[in-house]
Chain A
């Protein structure tokens, strides 16, 4: 929203980032309270830089007689880059965080219908200890949703199917999705669902049924072209998987169904050179199809049994590689699906919100899908009556460990986006501030976003 306060003095927003492009002929502007990125060509870029670069400057609206200056100034006010001098931006950020945390109209369930997986990815952190979701837990989830409607009046239910490989237990997905669709339709609750799947079992028949069941968002991972993907994401026992996954996605693309597929690529220092080969292949298949997007992630040290053998890739080089791959994808006609991380709330982890829960196949309630073995992550046990059995002290570790308690986060330019809650797990396990890479490397990030926006 524009700052409509009747005022004559303004100052640059504390949530601004202004950086010059690599070629030096423009500036890129970002404001984390608005989540907007703009590229401004010189000479106007120079003028914008002059207006915004000093956060302590107090600026007056130019004389209406200078039309260009006035228009530029008003635009910067409208877009949130200039705010009224008396405007309390920290209070605005507090309010943004509190609205997220205190909402009771929403329930987000990350459901693991099984922890079994048909893949044995080299970097995977899961132990696959539990099989198909127990009958009593499935009934408990139905009770949980009814109970939240009755007691909290939820108006929106979001379900994310996760595993293991969730499609291994597709019958559980069918049973619960049928309930969610019927209950939400009866009660007027907005329902949406997505799935993180390796894609091998996403055959045309299963994909069609998933769409019927209201699953509209799909994240499927391809780690490069066939020869690199098949060496890191193989079937239990070593079998190849790439060709079948591509065939399944291509059959989905041939339908007119309404869905969104994000193809994720996990890259390491070693395999990143091969990713452009995948991008070219995907561009040939899905370029111009707005239902397909791509994201790139360096393989992280996600824990689990791999221990010291993990191929974790981090730091500036990893982030620069990620941004290069995004640009490469755009040039091939693919759409990066990363924009949300620059939006207000966009870099907040689901685990930091009190209305988000992971439900394991045995009814164990977690906050985080990564630290499955950390006892601090076992915040509750779902009962047959839908009671989550929450331990409020453990819950607080996840949902109250944010910018409210961290002076560094409190004054950070990126605060509206991550709210100090990008990764509560890092705060819990390491006691350090979990700055997201898009904040640490904000200059290259927004420059890439602006550049990709122009290309597209």
Chain B
């Protein structure tokens, strides 16, 4: 899963931590797994947060300065990046974690294995900066449909383009299907999937979102998209396999709070110092394609497939039916 332009919430490499920015310019991290589950940590000031290369590791931007943070290593200065740039940390063997990659509206900059910076001028603003785990490359999608793939070891950059030559408003990377979901500029209420791992890139799906969105994310399983437009339309969960969408469950998420998916397909909503966690089937298999399956039945219907695949967790706080929520203590 990757961040969008908002960079207001990020999930780590393992999907076991998330971090977000609060309205007061602070960054919080939340453990989603194991003994840290439910633990909220104050990471200090920051205006944006991005995934790092490692368990619980994040990049935090505060103005022009960049810091990394992880539960194991704490905070560390990582230099500077242009204001508004998208950031990620690329995994490089032997680099002791990763190398910071930045994509601003002018250029893509990455630091190669020998420490030298490689930059590539960009002809359009970046929409997505993602780490392709199974390719070990950085994928950068620009609003004009240009796709750059950068090898952090050699510093080489390959360029291709999505078919159609359209401009896009939003996008997110989805690793399971191996491509990008994009919202075309001229069709803000639809989303299309382009399989960028195919050669050449191929448009595979087109889904109707019902309304324009300003934030788009994919779940780790690829089964779900989170489509948000706070204040103007309810957040929707779009089921990729069935092509259907649902109003998001949960109090925080329903009122437009940013959401991410965890490693075990919990939908995590965050706002200020509060969070909410809801189990979502990683595989919905919604067979009622005519829309006759109501949302309550969908969330509660057996089988509860996720149950046996989860180890024992600490007892959740403020438990509702299948949900949990918490605040910073």
A→B interface (CB under 8 Å): 115-118, 120, 126-132, 134-136, 165, 167-171, 201, 235-239, 244, 304-307, 309, 360-364, 372-375, 377-378, 381
Contact = CB atoms under 8 A, between A and B. Distances in A.
Given A305-B285, A373-B309, 17 more contacts: A117-B176, A118-B176, A118-B222, A127-B283, A129-B283, A129-B306, A130-B265, A131-B221, A134-B263, A136-B55, A168-B175, A170-B133, A235-B177, A236-B223, A362-B264, A373-B308, A377-B308
B241 A372 contact: no
B133 A169 contact: yes
A195 B171 CA distance: 33
Given A168-B176, A201-B178, A381-B311, A132 B133 contact: yes
Contacts of A305: 283, 285, 303, 305
B173 interface: no
A134 B16 contact: yes
18 contacts: A118-B178, A120-B285, A127-B281, A129-B282, A129-B309, A129-B310, A130-B282, A131-B221, A132-B133, A132-B263, A135-B14, A168-B134, A236-B177, A237-B205, A239-B205, A362-B264, A363-B311, A373-B308
Given A235-B204, A236-B222, A309-B287, A120 B241 contact: yes
Give the interface SS of chain A, mostly helix, strand, loop or mixed.
loop
B220 interface: yes
Interface string B12-34: 01111000000000000000010
A237 B178 CA distance: 13
A135 B55 contact: yes
Contact of A128 (B54, B55, B283, B307): B283
Nearest to B91: A171
B134 A169 contact: yes
B13 A127 contact: no
Interface in B172-216: 175-178, 193, 197-198, 204-205
B308 A372 contact: yes
B254 interface: no
Contacts of B263: 130-132, 134, 361-362
Interface residues of B, number: 42
B136 interface: yes
A116 B285 contact: no
B157 interface: no
Given A171-B134, A237-B193, A364-B311, A129 B55 contact: no
Interface in B218-252: 220-223, 240-241, 243
The 10 closest A-B pairs by CB, nearest first: A127-B305, A131-B220, A170-B134, A373-B308, A129-B309, A128-B282, A129-B306, A171-B133, A128-B283, A129-B282
Interface string B242-285: 01000000000000000000011100000000000000011101
Interface in B106-143: 133-134, 136
Contacts of B309: 115, 127, 129-130, 360, 362, 364, 372-373
A374 to B, nearest CB: 7
B308 A236 contact: no
B311 A237 contact: no
Give the interface SS of chain B, mostly helix, strand, loop or mixed.
loop
B47 to A, nearest CB: 28
Contacts of B176: 116-118, 165, 168, 236
Nearest to A371: B308
A306 B285 contact: yes
A170 B307 CA distance: 26
Given A167-B134, A171-B134, A305-B303, A130 B264 contact: yes
A253 B46 CA distance: 53
Nearest to B308: A373
A378 B84 CA distance: 47
Contacts of A201: 134, 178, 197
A48 to B, nearest CB: 52
Contacts of B220: 116, 131-132
Nearest to B195: A239
Contacts of A237: 177, 193, 204-205, 240-241, 243
A372 B283 CA distance: 14
Given A128-B282, A362-B309, A116 B221 contact: yes
Contacts of A165: 176
B262 to A, nearest CB: 8
B45 to A, nearest CB: 28
Nearest to A373: B308
B181 to A, nearest CB: 11
A225 B134 CA distance: 29
Contacts of B136: 171
Contacts of B222: 116, 118, 236
A246 to B, nearest CB: 15
A98 to B, nearest CB: 32
B303 to A, nearest CB: 6
Q: Which of A120, A307, A364, A381 is most buried by chain B, counting CB atoms within 10 A of its CB?
A: A120
Nearest to B287: A309
Contacts of B311: 362-364, 381
Contacts of B265: 129-131
A118 B282 CA distance: 12
Contacts of A115: 282, 309
Contacts of A244: 198
